[in-house]
Structure 1
């Protein structure tokens, strides 16, 4: 499969993604009306975006703070190389407060975003993370305030703009 082809978005793709992001409950027919294209065009574009992995879900976005998890932290983990990333990731996956984990370069091996109900609860979560023998050390940074929430629409628009300039 041609990777370059997978990353190309045009303006209609970008507008469709923006519309579905801002109004996730909108139907295909209403999308076609607002974008002024045929319903079949919207459905075909949507299917293509899903097949290519550009759109990977339609689930609601849940705010951890709104359900009581008001502390967000980023944890860098150093793991024992004989254990490998797979078993450590399986351990982390079993901890509900671990929202995501990424293999990283640099002084650590994994970077995790975790949430907790309080600073004391954060200690409990960290103890649970560190209970696994394959994790040697954790370095934690507590997020004080969110300045830019997770977003992809500016990136989608930039990708469409690059495609349009080609």
Structure 2
């Protein structure tokens, strides 16, 4: 989906000032409230905007340890293991991957002992062969989307076959 300059400005406001009203966004942007609302509705419908809820901090919820756990699965059991991962509350994300393992999970824990307990729970799931864990030491780039949105809007996103001018 193409994102134009107005969409980018709206997305920036939604990211930077999420509690502001559509009426106030329209005033800031100098466009009609109906235009802003129609753009937001289209961005939601097209799947660009996927949620509007608060972003929560696992650390503030008492889970400051972040680990990435690679899970190797018995052939033919990926779906069952993937479904079982949803029953583990400390798993905040899970992805099917290529490379060293079948699934990559993002796990939060209260401390190292709790992380070990979570890993032991994963190992006991039917279809799990082994796990490999990497503990995050420090976040270097927080989750962000605005630089990507702005890049797409400017047409700077690298396309297959394009030169290397924008590395």
Q: TM-score, normalised by structure 2?
A: 0.91
Flag structure 2 segments of 5+ consecutive residues without an equivalent: 157-167
CA deviation profile, 1:17-43 (whole Å, cap 9, x unmatched): 110111111111011011111111101
Structure 1 residue aligned with 2:22: 28
1:142 positional shift: 0.2
SS of equivalent residue, structure 1 residue 56: coil
Q: Does 1:48 align with 2:42?
A: yes
Number of aligned residues: 156
Large movers: runs of 4+ above 2 Å: none
SS of equivalent residue, structure 2 residue 14: helix
CA deviation profile, 1:120-139 (whole Å, cap 9, x unmatched): 00001111111112111111
Where relative contact order (Cα < 8 A, 6+ residues apart) is larger, the structure is: 1
Distance in 2 of aligned mates of 1:144 and 1:43: 41
Distance in 2 of aligned mates of 1:132 and 1:139: 15
SS of equivalent residue, structure 1 residue 25: coil
Distance in 1 of aligned mates of 2:55 and 2:17: 12
Structure 2 residue aligned with 1:19: 13
Q: Does 1:150 align with 2:143?
A: yes
Structure 1 residue aligned with 2:131: 138
Cα RMSD (Å) of the superposition? Answer: 1.0
CA deviation profile, 1:100-130 (whole Å, cap 9, x unmatched): 0111111211111000000000001111111
